[in-house]
Amino acid sequence: MKNIVKLLLVAVCVISCSMQSKQGMPKKVYETIWMELTETDSGYVVYNYPDLEDDNFKTPQKIVLKGDSIIWITYSEMPIIDIFNSVQELADEEYFFPVGNHYKFEWSDKDKHIAKWTIYYGDERILSNRLYIDSVYNIYPVIDYKWFDDEVNNNW
């Protein structure tokens, strides 16, 4: 009976230590949900784009990083999911993710949690080069994007 109790205590300790070590692993600076920023005359905003086929569905353009996955979410296409095996540190807190579409992360304003994400086609042509903000720290308005104003629609 004492052996069973000791065995249970050891098992609980091992499981507990394993859970704490996973929780204690530091999160990488790029691991979060990044929302695309757009500069307007009155400052930055995050646009909530309507889906091209369903105006009821709206989403900001996002880059989501968690673990070894990058998900690029746009209003016009299905989310692009890339799995990376390695991350290259190019400079101090500047990272390159060599996957299907290559991704490069670099801080634009670390204090405001704004980073520039450059997305390349496999042959190094730039597909996107924009500013994103960590969604947890977003202080900018999230507004619904309108494709056309009423005047433009009435002139067609």
Closest CA to 145 of 68, 5, 36: 36
Report the amino acid identity of residue 11.
Answer: A
3-state percent breakdown (helix, strand, coil) of the chain, nearest 5: 20, 40, 35
Model confidence at 29: pLDDT above 70: yes
Length of the chain as a residue count: 156
pLDDT mean over 18-45: 77
Range with the poorest average pLDDT among 52-61, 67-76, 101-110, 121-130: 52-61
93-136 pLDDT, tens digit per residue, is 899 988 878 899 999 999 999 999 998 887 678 988 899 999 99
Model confidence at 54: pLDDT above 80: no
**Residue 79 CA to its chain's centroid (Å):** 12
Average pLDDT of every residue of the chain: 78
pLDDT mean over 84-88: 88
Of the pLDDT bands very low, low, confident and very high (cuts 50, 70, 90), residue 146 is confident
pLDDT mean over 17-30: 57
Q: State how far the Cα of 96 lies from the Cα of 126, in Å rounded to an integer.
A: 14
Q: First vs last Cα of the chain: how many Å apart?
A: 85
Q: How many CB atoms lie within 10 A of CB 150?
A: 8
Report the amino acid identity of residue 35.
Answer: M
Report the amino acid identity of residue 78.
Answer: M
State the DSSP code for 10: H
- Greatest Cα pair distance, the chain, in angstroms, is 86
Model confidence at 43: pLDDT above 90: yes
Q: What are the distances in angstroms from CA 40 to CA 45, 103, 130?
A: 7, 25, 14
Q: State how far the Cα of 107 lies from the Cα of 44, in Å rounded to an integer.
A: 16
